[in-house]
Amino acid sequence: MNRTRLLFLAVALALVGITLTSRGIDKTVTLTINGKPAEIKTSAWTVSGLLREQEIALNEEDAINIPLSNWLTGGEEISIERAAWVTIQADGETISKYTRQRSPGRFISEAGIRLLNGDQIFIDGKPSDTDSSLSPGINHSLQIQRAQTIEISVEGQSNIISSTAATLGEALWESGIDLAAGDRISPSEDTPLNGPLIAQLESSQEITIQYAGGIIKSRTTAETVSEALSESGIPLQGLDYSKPGANTPIPKDGNIQLIRVQEDLMLESDPIPYDTETQPVPDLDIDNRKIVQAGVYGLNTKRIRVRYEDDIEVSRQVESEYISQEPQSEIVGYGTQFTQHTIDTPDGRIKYWRALNMYAVSYNVTSNGGYGTATGIPLAKGVAAIDPQYIPYGTRMYVPGYGEALAADTGGGINGRMIDLGYLDEDYVSWHQWVTVYFLWPPPENVVWIIP
């Protein structure tokens, strides 16, 4: 071959290489990973070269739609579906597998797990079903919650329900059995459903409680009024009582009245009057008095039980009564000492031992009906009627404006400090006034010391 032809061939090969190199740099392909497409410009010649260029490593379970050895000429659509870890928790066991399986039902079946009627599937913690599709390339957890059988007795009637709820309360709610406030469920609502369960539901009754603090409306399953009050936070205490009675069943109308009872003990004292006694005082002039001993009231004390119902007093009862302090008598001393006194009168100077303020009236023979005096002395001026229980007969007195008078008569109307001055008809003078009467010296043997 001559040199000219060799030169021509070399130039041609160089042009072909330049063309092929230019086409490799300009290639654009679509790469889709787990359903997410992206356009990529590449100078790679093959699919495997593209993956190396993009630093994409394939695992054994990953799938690609084009063989890795295929040449890239531009415009290819390459799809990669990544495998992922799927973990199943069922019946206390855990199974994990790296797979591209997207059907939970198939994966569960391949794992040899049998789903029963009512079982619940949770995918990544959320309720799902076997027809769902797992997102590709993402790790997933599947949890199978077995349905549990609950035999529940409601008001004596037995019902059987099946549920995958976490607790008994949730299972009842899902089954349309609403628990009202106060309902009694045994076992409790928060009992976990980790196996067959037997439960009993006792429906509550609506009650209305009236008490001093107001009205409480609630529901209860209590059997007696006392239990219902305790459940409502207002138990019977001490002397409290209820209507109906504490140990009676809850009434059909649900109405209960609570009466708070309180009893207080109190002491109440009333004064006891003291007596007044008299005693002679030898060194005290007659008709004078002084307190020898002051009187002190006694105390009669009562122990009283006071009953209140709802802060209103309803009764008082005297439980005991006693004298807590004896009274002390007042002692009044009266004078028994005679002292001779003198006074000048129109009739001359007189000596006397007593002077009393007395109410003076007068009478004469005619007004006396012709009767004689009590002592038989004829009625005339100088004879006076007195009250002999205070002024003995024979007492000599001097009455200013009348003169000397002798106590020699009495009458039905003459009482205490009263004196009736006697006259004859011809010298009669009418008296109606208070006057000082002087008892003439010497004192008689019998003296009434106190004249009221």
Structural class in CATH, domain 264-334: mainly beta
* Residues of each domain in the chain carrying CATH 2.40.40.10: 338-440
pLDDT tens sequence across 362-418: 999 998 887 889 999 999 999 999 999 999 999 999 999 999 999 999 998 999 999
Judged by average pLDDT, the poorest of 202-211, 291-300, 323-332, 371-380 is 202-211
8 Å CB contact between 50 and 40: yes
In tens, the pLDDT along 266-279 reads 999 999 999 999 99
| Nearest in space to 165 (alpha carbons), one of 183, 192, 185, 187 | 192
Is 20's pLDDT higher than 50? no
Pairing relationship of beta strands 396-399 and 432-440 according to DSSP bridges: antiparallel
Segment 344-364 mean pLDDT: 97
Residue range(s) in the chain whose domain bears CATH number 3.10.20.90 = 84-145
State yes or no: pLDDT of 189 exceeds 90.
no
Encoded tokens for 234: 């207002």
Q: Domain 84-145: which topology?
A: Ubiquitin-like (UB roll) (3.10.20)
pTM comes to 0.48
Give percent of the chain above pLDDT 70: 94
Three-state secondary structure call for residue 360? strand
More confident residue, 91 or 401: 401
Count of CB atoms situated within 10 Å of the CB of 62: 18
Fold of 148-202: Ubiquitin-like (UB roll) (3.10.20)
CATH architecture observed for domain 24-81:
Roll (3.10)
User: Residue 346 is encoded by which pair of tokens?
Assistant: 């129109």
Task: Indicate if the pLDDT at residue 166 is higher than 50.
Answer: yes
For domain 338-440, which CATH number applies: 3.40.50.300, 3.10.25.10, 2.40.40.10, 1.20.120.530? 2.40.40.10
Is the per-residue pLDDT at 37 higher than 90? yes
